[in-house]
Structure 1
Amino acid sequence: MYTLGPDTPASADVQALLLRHFELMRASSPEESCHVLEPDMLLERDATLFVARDGETVLGVGAVAVIEPGHAELKSMHTAAEARGRGVGRAVLKALLDHARDTGVTRVSLETGSADMFAPAQALYVAHGFRNCPPFGSYVLDPLSVFMTRLL
């Protein structure tokens, strides 16, 4: 089993998984189509980060940042490869949606990739009520991106 709760992207073990996520995303998409945040940017965006741990091992992370009143964006959702299939991503997503709802957010949106490697993430989001939508915020239409949103 694992624990799940708010954490900081400044701690070394969380930074390590966020860096793995950053490097994987950068390697998977051209820079102009890659919207992953560097780990330190989560602090600058004033995002709330949730971390799943098995003891001292970080299994998964995810953040939510308000982008305008009532509207938040999911960022840096990542489950360590060795922890996949344990429900970590689902638990982190649920915690983020609950947190957003508890803080007055009424809509949550996200951007993810369109390549086959992102199919499991897209399926997770669809299973939790997300639907495709046009680009939001400062995003622009990009064939390498999928934009999704849901009401809370």
Structure 2
Amino acid sequence: MTVTIDVESPLTDEVRTLIAELNTVLLALSPPEACYNLTVEEMADPTVTVWIARDGDAAIGCGALKRHSDTVGEVKRMFTRPAWQGQGVGRSVLDKILETAEREELKTLVLETGDQHPAAWAIYEKAGFTRCGPVLDYPDSPYSVFYQKQLRAA
């Protein structure tokens, strides 16, 4: 397996399919009102950077950085297709997000994930994120787990 991770447009058919698969997975784990998904159109906003992991030509995973201000960014749309899970793809995508946030001198990264995602929790915690209360404008929900990480720029 030779995985590459690059910034790509979310508006391609292949990335739309990947995001649709992610949405299907999330809706199987949480009620629709507890899924705070960016659409691919929202992911194309200039405040968002999207990374796509590929094994050869196949899109196998993704993640995004949404900037909320000059100091706060949010990790969004993290996903690895099941056949590639457990092989470090998600962590590699997260590393790209962290490198970019550091380079842009963001002070804090936050994220919201579901209450049924222990593999994601492990990736975030190994990367230095700590659990916290609700972030940004997310409601406090039994279906959500929140994380934050202070960056070196802080």
TM-score interval (norm. to shorter): over 0.9
Aligned with 1:37: secondary structure?
coil
**2:128 is the alignment partner of 1:101:** no
Aligned with 2:75: secondary structure?
strand
Aligned to 2:60: 59
Deviations 1:64-83, CA, capped at 9 Å, x for gaps: 01112210001100001111
User: How many pairs align?
Assistant: 150
Aligned to 1:26: 27
Aligned residue identity for 2:77: S
Deviations 1:59-117, CA, capped at 9 Å, x for gaps: 110000111221000110000111112210010000011011111211100000112xx
* Aligned positions of 1:83-122 closer than 5 A: 83-115=84-116, 118-122=117-121
Aligned residue identity for 1:137: L
**By how many angstroms is 1:45 displaced?**
6.7
Percent identity over paired residues: 32
Asked if structure 2 preserves the Cα contact closer than 8 Å seen for 1:73 and 1:110, the reply is yes
Normalised TM-score (structure 1): 0.93
Structure 2 unaligned blocks of 5 or more: none
**By how many angstroms is 1:26 displaced?**
2.1
Bigger Cα displacement from structure 2, 38-47 vs 2-11: 38-47
Aligned with 1:137: secondary structure?
coil
Once residues 103 and 17 of structure 1 are traced to their aligned partners in structure 2, the CA distance between those partners, rounded to angstroms, is 27
CA RMSD of aligned residues (A): 1.2
Aligned to 1:141: 140
Once residues 150 and 103 of structure 2 are traced to their aligned partners in structure 1, the CA distance between those partners, rounded to angstroms, is 13
Once residues 45 and 75 of structure 1 are traced to their aligned partners in structure 2, the CA distance between those partners, rounded to angstroms, is 14
Aligned with 1:68: secondary structure?
coil
Deviations 1:6-58, CA, capped at 9 Å, x for gaps: 11101121111111001221232112211122222212373100111111101
Aligned with 2:93: secondary structure?
helix
Asked if structure 2 preserves the Cα contact closer than 8 Å seen for 1:111 and 1:148, the reply is yes
Aligned with 2:44: secondary structure?
helix
Deviations 1:104-137, CA, capped at 9 Å, x for gaps: 211100000112xx00000110000000111111
